Chain A
Amino acid sequence: MLLTVEGLCVNYGRIEALRDISFEVPEGSVVTLVGANGAGKTTTLKTVSGLRGVRAGKVVFAGEDITHLPAHRRVERGVSQAPEGRGIFPGMTVRENLEMGAYVRKDRKTAAYREDTERVLTLFPRLQERIGQSAGTLSGGEQQMLAIGRGLMARPRLLLLDEPSMGLAPKLIQQIFSIVTEINQQGTTVLLVEQNAAQALKRADHAHIMETGEIVRSGTGAELAGDDAVKAAYLGGDI
């Protein structure tokens, strides 16, 4: 198992943001957490990447307990996150942002590194066009591409994606999700947090539905997508 989250409890002050969250991410899979705003999806992701401390519970990555490892050390282990709201560095160029993604890599002068840059720029040709431009001037969709591409530059074993479809036009959403599938097929395990449940469930091997800080349903993506209660609550009528 690449990632195991066990009995995770996280508080913001006295407010319980997460209660007893447990799930697993097998190597090579796409796992998604879906749910409404404020259900605790982003908090779960931030706990996995190390931005939030835990009150109770464990995060185990590739057999190692990383619960109390600071975020920057987790990147070295192979956990990479494309944060919500994109979190790109607006004052740096697209190229510099990609280089930041590879900050912990020691092989920045080698062919492997250049290949990875090529790979990201092939996935996102738009970034190639904008390579020397400052990232703050990119459109929302381009910034999202940059955030994902930057996350890939670390050569992660586990890529955490927080709401990659947020604020994007429908056509772009399709594109971003096919790229997520492509990334996974190239061998990267993906933990995806989404409000766009329809797309997320379609792409996921395993899915968990979160409500007010708890996991309320789990199953394969297809199972949950076919479930009547899930359809009514998250998928709306017109899929």
Chain B
Amino acid sequence: MDFLLDNFVALTVTGLSLGAIYALVALGYTLVYGVLQLINFAHSEVFMYGAFAATWTVYAMGGRAGASTGAVIGYLLAALVAAMAFSGLIALLLERVAYRRLRKQNAPRLIALISAIGASFALAELMGLRDKVADFLGLGETLRPYVRGARNSSGFPEIIDTTPLFTLGDYDVTNIDLLVITSALVMMLALDLFVARTRFGRGIRAVAQDPESASLMGVNSDRTVQLTFLLGGLMAGAAAVLYVVKIGSIRFDTGFLLGVKAFTAAVLGGIGNLRGALLGGFVLGLAENYGSALIGTEWRDVVAFTLLVVILLFRPTGLLGESLAKART
């Protein structure tokens, strides 16, 4: 208990930055669920591919510790663009390969879920065997720096020196904390505005609320579903950059646990609800930090999933309840 109180500010700030990453990934689960009532289990892999894209991009640009501020901003922006593009692409591919035919044939949702789990393992293992893939394509030598140690962690170049910016209580808030939290909030705000205010956003909400009526209004439901996957992918890509900046490395199977946590965040807030995902992410990040401070770091995941069970027992629809379908915005 003393540890929790002594480090309350530190635990809160790091919990929020972890929660911000959960929330960004959770948006992908919640968007797709809102529109298709499908749990896109492979969304964790969409995130993981983005993290690799970010790492490779900065590596290819020669990013290393001690770069000038201008260069660091350049690296980060390039990493962001690459990760969002790659994650978006993977999300679109996933929809095309793993789900579309099932949807056209009105397959039961359980079938789609199994397809999702299969796609998740396939994507993760493909990344974990990327050295074999490169050898097979005859590019093993050229791509060596990118594919070596395919089953180990790949470190993200340490382009940012962690520096304290200001003191809050007795904790020095670092530039990375601030970067992660503010970028995540900006992305979420942008998504929220897009869904609430734009024509395409209205199309997404219309399909979520009543797919048949939506097509009677002239909404192309295939396009809308693709757009939904793309948006989820873009958010996961952004989350991936923040993740590698904060954590410093990525592995082919990192997506799994993070994906389950992000999914937990989505359910916690009320799946199908965009603002619920945001709230769920932050609550989960904080709960993990406070919980592990109370009973020990090795209990971190136990705390997270116990919280999920408790919320589902007492509030099965999540904290904010409403789905994308019923939510006003």
| Residues of chain A having any CB pair with chain B under 8 Å | 49-51, 70-73, 75-76, 80-81, 83, 87-93, 96, 99-101, 103-104, 134, 136, 150, 154
Contact = CB atoms under 8 A, between A and B. Distances in A.
Contacts of A134: 328
B206 interface: yes
Contact of B216 (A71, A76, A90, A96): A71
Nearest to A96: B202
B228 to A, nearest CB: 16
Contacts of B203: 103
Given A83-B212, A87-B213, A87-B216, A100 B202 contact: yes
23 contacts: A50-B215, A51-B212, A51-B216, A71-B215, A71-B216, A72-B218, A72-B219, A72-B221, A75-B216, A75-B217, A83-B212, A87-B210, A87-B212, A89-B206, A91-B325, A91-B327, A92-B206, A92-B328, A100-B202, A103-B219, A134-B328, A136-B326, A150-B217
Contacts of B199: 103
Interface of B: 199, 202-203, 205-206, 209-210, 212-221, 322, 324-328
Given A83-B212, A91-B209, A104 B328 contact: no
Nearest to B224: A72
Contacts of B325: 90-91
A181 B245 CA distance: 65
Given A96-B202, A100-B206, A103-B202, A91 B328 contact: yes
Contact of B213 (A50, A70, A89): A89
A104 B199 CA distance: 10
Contacts of A51: 212, 215-216
Nearest to B203: A103
Contacts of A100: 202, 206, 214, 217
B220 A72 contact: yes
A107 to B, nearest CB: 13
A54 to B, nearest CB: 17
A81 B221 CA distance: 17
B202 A75 contact: no
Given A96-B202, A100-B206, A90 B326 contact: yes
Contacts of B322: 91
B209 A49 contact: no
Contacts of B209: 89-92
Given A49-B216, A71-B216, 6 more contacts: A51-B216, A72-B217, A75-B218, A89-B209, A90-B326, A103-B217
B296 to A, nearest CB: 43
A100 B200 CA distance: 10
A85 to B, nearest CB: 10
A89 B326 CA distance: 9
A99 B198 CA distance: 11
B218 A154 contact: yes
Nearest to A100: B217
A101 B221 CA distance: 15
Q: Which 9 A-B pairs have the closest CB atoms?
A: A75-B218, A104-B218, A87-B213, A71-B215, A89-B209, A103-B217, A91-B326, A103-B218, A72-B218
Nearest to A75: B218
A195 to B, nearest CB: 21
Contacts of B326: 90-91, 136
A223 B23 CA distance: 65
Contacts of A92: 202, 205-206, 209, 328
Contact of A83 (B213, B219, B221, B324): B213
Contacts of B206: 89, 92, 100, 103
Contacts of B324: 91
Contact of B217 (A50, A73, A101, A136): A101
A150 B209 CA distance: 16
